[in-house]
Amino acid sequence: MRIVLLGAPGAGKGTLANHLKTKCGVLHLSTGDMLREEMKSDSSLGKEVKKYVESGALVPDEVVIKLIENKLKGADVAKGFLLDGFPRTAKQAQNLDEILEGMGQPIQYSFFMEVSLPVILQRLTGRRVCRQCGAVYHIKNMPSKVEGKCDVCDGELYQRPDDNEATIRTRMDVYTKSTTPVIEYYDQQGKLKKVNAEQETEKLFDELIGIIGQNDGKSDKD
């Protein structure tokens, strides 16, 4: 499967991608995670992107396209891949198609995860992330067993600096302006599948696998 997960901040892209990775062994590529890794390493790229990420603005296209191109070309994509948080602009979508065309691995599905604004705000303001391994929790929906500690590695849980209400609203505005053309882009290619992302992750996973199964035969599944 070669999939793009599209959706507003907090739609649950990362959570669903982790589920798919665990159950299907698919490679998960998140530009948000890649950028946060750069910021953590304090590299010159990390310093450059920090101001964009923490204010809720998009990092320039050239930077994220290069990051994803390097990852895709250096990875084993035989079992497929999931793109989470990329593409986010029409330019990124066009460049991605060119890269994948060169690799003979075109996108098969773009899942548009629909969620309402109140649910987004509730999810993002309550999200907590492990500083050590990146596992994602929610103080109400998916709490860790011990408050403030990661179940997987015992690392400290923290709140992302861009998960405050003012920055979430900026991210939503940026998303509406820049990512709506990406939804249209995949719709025109006949690859867009809309899914209700307010349901439980397990049900959402089943819906997605069902859609892929239904289309098996009409398109190349693996």
Just list the catalytic residues: 13, 88, 127, 160, 171
Q: Which residues contact 186 (CB under 8 A, 6 or more apart)?
A: 4, 6, 93, 107, 110, 112, 192
Q: Residues with Cβ < 8 Å from 211, sequence gap 6 or more?
A: 109, 111, 193, 195
Residue 28 engages ligand AP5 in binding (rule: CB under 6 A):
no
User: 1 near 83, Cβ under 8 Å?
Assistant: no
Asked if 221 interacts with ligand AP5 (CB under 6 A), we say no
Residue 67 or 212: the one with the smaller Cβ distance to ligand AP5 is 67
CB of 136 to ligand AP5, least distance (A): 5
List, edge to edge, every strand of the sheet that includes 27-30.
27-30, 81-84, 2-7, 109-114, 192-196
Task: Tell me which H or E stretch contains 27.
Answer: strand 27-30
**Applying CB under 6 A, which of residues 2, 28, 71, 127 lies at the interface with ligand AP5?**
127
Answer for which of 11, 20, 39, 100 binds ligand AP5 (CB under 6 A) is 11
162-191 residues near ligand AP5, rule: CB under 6 A: 162, 171
Choice from 1, 2, 14, 100 touching ligand AP5 (CB under 6 A): 14
Containing 138, the helix (H) or strand (E) segment is: strand 136-138
141 is a site residue for ligand AP5 (CB under 6 A): yes
Provide the minimum distance between the beta carbon of 125 and ligand AP5 in the complex, in angstroms, as a whole number.
9
CB within 8 A of 71, min separation 6: which ones?
29, 34
Distance between alpha carbon 69 and the CA centroid of its chain, in Å? 16
Three-state DSSP class for 83?
strand
Give, as one character, the DSSP assignment of residue 103.
H
Give min distance, CB of 128 to ligand AP5, in A: 7
Q: Which of 31, 95, 110, 144 binds ligand AP5 (CB under 6 A)?
A: 31
Pick the closer one to ligand AP5 by CB: 1 or 31.
Answer: 31
Residue 82 touches ligand AP5, criterion: CB under 6 A: no
Give the neighbor-by-neighbor strand order of the sheet with 157-158. Answer: 136-138, 127-130, 157-158
**Among 13, 28, 71, 193, contact with ligand AP5 (rule: CB under 6 A):** 13
Name which position in 108, 125, 201, 215 contacts ligand AP5 (CB under 6 A): 201
Residues that bind ligand AP5 (CB under 6 A): 7, 9-15, 31-32, 35, 52-53, 56-59, 64, 85-86, 88, 92, 123-124, 127, 136-138, 141-142, 162, 171, 200-201, 204
